[in-house]
């Protein structure tokens, strides 16, 4: 259970850092003069990916009516991403265990 909670926290932090990093890289590439050999649309693509990652977070935050609720809703949005990633990690671990049990024993001759 503690590992699952840790995975939720790590997933939330990962999505937060990834969204802000994609946004920063996208704005840097999108700005004129910073990367003149990079096509203009690539920066917009990074910004759009960051927007997609933040979409559930913004949905929660839009329901808040006060600043304290807005902060709590933002944290809840990132925790939702963490839950999704933790459940994916748990399913992958279970699948790996099933494969290990189903594989025939290796012959050591």
Q: What is the pLDDT of residue 13?
A: 93
Q: Are 60 and 80 in contact (CB under 8 A)?
A: yes
DSSP state of 34: T
Mean pLDDT of 61-82: 88
Task: Kindly indicate the confidence band of residue 108, based on its pLDDT and cuts at 50, 70 and 90.
Answer: low
């Amino acid at each position: 259970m503690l590992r699952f909670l840790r995975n939720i926290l790590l997933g939330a932090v990962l999505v937060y850092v990834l969204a802000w990093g994609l946004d920063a890289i996208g704005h840097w590439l999108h700005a004129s003069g910073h990367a003149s050999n990079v096509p203009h649309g690539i920066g917009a693509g990074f910004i759009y990916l960051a927007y997609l990652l933040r979409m559930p977070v913004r949905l929660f935050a839009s329901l808040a009516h006060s600043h304290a609720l807005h902060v709590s809703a933002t944290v809840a949005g990132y925790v939702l991403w963490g839950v999704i990633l933790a459940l994916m990690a748990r399913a992958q671990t279970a699948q790996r265990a099933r494969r290990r049990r189903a594989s025939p024993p290796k012959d050591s001759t």
